[in-house]
Amino acid sequence: MISRRALSSLRRAPLARGLSSRASTILHALDIRSDSELAGVYDGEWTGSGEILESVCPTTGEVLARVKSATPAEVERALERSREAYKVFRTVPAPKRGEILRQIREALAAKRDDLGALVSLEMGKIRTEGEGELQEFVDIADYAVGLSRMMNGRVVASERPGHSILEVPNPLGVVAVLSAFNFPVAVYGWNLALSLAAGNATLWKPAPSTPLCSIAVTKIVTSVLEKNGVPGAVAGLVTGGKVVGEAVVGSSDVDMVSFTGSEAVGREVGKVVQGRFGKVLLELGGNNAAIVMPDADLDMAIPAVFFGAVGTAGQRCTSTRRLYLHSSIVQKFLSRLESLYQSVRPGDPLDRSTLLGPLHTRAAVGIYHDAVDHLLKTGAEILTGGAPYTDLPAPLNGGNFVRPTIAIPQEVNVKDPVWSTETFAPVLKVGVFDELEQAIEWNNGVPQGLSSSLWTRDIRNVGKWIGPVGSDAGIVNVNVGTSGAEIGAAFGGNKSTGWGRESGGDAWKQYVRWSACTLNFSDEAPLAQGVQFSNTA
């Protein structure tokens, strides 16, 4: 039997040289060494002496690298340095901050393909999606460059002569970004770009299973900051697990926490941050529905549902989990959708012909199996999928591949966990309706409210869907799938999804400190509302 000390020594031993050539090439291009433990903390310098995190390739099961996460003392120091860096950066004029963002955008674009490949390697999404994720970061940086000259307040008319009222945005402070594994780069990018434009310092705590993506991005971003004379701690990094996350979320040195993850964890994050009167932005569960009317263009709707349910192996927050079909098109729609499902083959995400990559972890495979088992026990019909792949060649046989599944439960009861619980895997549940009102009720009946999609060519249906009796989700699409949002509009959901908004629209307003300023440029000091307060006769 191996002792704990011996086991610890083995875990800290140099990585075996069996790392695949494809992995070595990608890591080398991003200045990430795989032959020794990597520092997982950046606060102006690279450190890390805490728990060892293993980055495991979900496609093959190989260990890509080992990363030294943050100790409690290192988290505290990173927070202190973030605060110090903020005090410097807040005085930089906003257009100058925009110029720095432009340079970050250029540096990211130059490494877009390499970073996209790293996302595929470490997270598991297919190559085009990995590169698309990096493009989101590039796009939001573009957006923030322009925003840096447009983060305006407003002038409000005063009822008092010789007075004006201003609403003024100023930098907020330190923004902590806790990102999820499924978008290991883009979610941070959405937050970082707006936070930098606003004049804040940002401290990133990534998912513990994707440390390499965070290290690679931090190296690129901080090199640009430092070339411009800005402290690197403006974009700090602390890798680690639950203990590190709790320390960051609970710190009074953090003015705002942006958390992307599960509803269960998000609920606790919200309580902690609100308990200390900090600002919190939550992006939580999805459980998104697509509704297809009889007049829908099926040549558009079927591929969109296919991508929404199978893309990223069902691991997007906006993945299509529920499909509601009008009774008149059920057979026609499902037969074509099933053909697409049966045509997809798992493969190496780095191969551009691959459409189906792995689930991110072994635990996710277990969640998939539990969901399928529960569907079967409750009498659902499994139209296709529902089982693991058992005949994959090496090295894919070491990966986390599952068959995309279409299930038809016996009934639609949105209060039942079959419908109300989000399964972060490619499991699509189908229900049948006769009237749009019924489908809208089902769409709105679950706790989550992120994305939704209606397929129709009838303008009356559109008006109902996007209006006060329509979808209650944060994203309400028409003839567009639930998945694949652009950066120009605010991204986020309602209800138990958390009500947070990131990316475009008015999302930037969360990253600033607002003040109302009344200016008196007259020779008198009247009170508002005509109040008289004087002891003179």
Dist. CA 288–CA 305, nearest whole Å: 11
517 CB burial (10 A radius; 0-12, 13-18, 19+): exposed
Residue 24 tokens read as 């070595």
The number of angstroms, rounded, from the C-alpha of 318 to the middle of its chain's C-alpha atoms is 10
Dist. CA 506–CA 497, nearest whole Å: 18
368 CB burial (10 A radius; 0-12, 13-18, 19+): buried
* Strand, coil or helix: 140: helix
173 CB burial (10 A radius; 0-12, 13-18, 19+): buried
Question: Which amino acid appears at position 157 of this protein?
Answer: A
Strand 38-39 and strand 475-478: the pairing is: unpaired
449 neighbors 474 (Cβ within 8 angstroms)? yes
Dist. CA 216–CA 358, nearest whole Å: 22
Catalytic member of 131, 136, 263, 283: 283
469 neighbors 440 (Cβ within 8 angstroms)? yes
In the block, tokens 């009934």 appear at 411
Q: How many alpha carbons fall within 13 Å on the CB side of residue 467?
A: 8
List CB contacts of 75: < 8 A, sequence separation 6 or more: 238, 240, 244, 247, 248
106 is catalytic: no
User: Angle at which helices 112-122 and 211-227 pack, to 10 degrees?
Assistant: 150
Residue among 401, 400, 396 at smallest CA distance from 20: 396
The number of angstroms, rounded, from the C-alpha of 201 to the middle of its chain's C-alpha atoms is 19
* Strand, coil or helix: 292: strand
Active site residues: 283
